[in-house]
Chain A
């Protein structure tokens, strides 16, 4: 068992990685999407939401690369 060799990893095990990746993606998109949505309704514009979503997706992918991509 590979998992048994690194106890307490909580971030580098495979099961944990798959769940955390989905969590990071959801929170990145939701947080920056919500900020974009808020700015849109404040400024009465339509561009901030897509920008926020793309920014959030990019930032969460970057975060995932930082956590799980580099060895």
Chain B
């Protein structure tokens, strides 16, 4: 993965290209990251596109065909109620991916605004706001998510919000650190001298400049959220039937390990591969966007 001479750097010396061009070049060099990105793209197309073209029945119960092993009839076998496992994995993937992305979006919005405001104003505001983050960090996180889930009932949209609302802490810390280091730079000073107001400076001039670390952390938040969603579904608190998510499918499989291995292995494999891809993509993006902190060795 690493090379002795980084061609992107040489190019930069000659022409001074923008960070993004160099980053794109470095990312393309990273085969694992590109493979992961391709996998994620393919998965999204499968989950959201395929059911539009092929008639996939994910909730039709055919009780006489229960526990059919993978084969001609069912690509990935059927479950205890004779439902098509492949269709259920795709529909479950929809929910898992949607929850992952929507909750990440919520946590991004809260985290960026909170961190940027705290870092920009500094002083007492900063101290109070960061204290609050410390308090929230100390909460027995899982228990609170469970309480929140019960509080919001089985509304999936609110579930996004609840998960997002507890996942923003690290993002706020990252953004705050970046904003503090940007604050002293000259272009921000010139914004002040032009008489721009704080909101405009923060969201127009600072936030675009911290996108790098934010993007990296986003690709790492999505799998974290997906794990959390599956965890809740696994405990029976998440998505309710006939809807399904990867967590529910894994739970169904885990309860029947003795009779139907395919009910655990296929959803588990989809889930693990997705997490794998997001993590590799995140690592690759970090290396690509931040050449200084590229992992040593």
A and B: partners? Answer: no
Chain B contact residues, CB within 8 Å of chain A:
none
Chain A contact residues, CB within 8 Å of chain B:
none
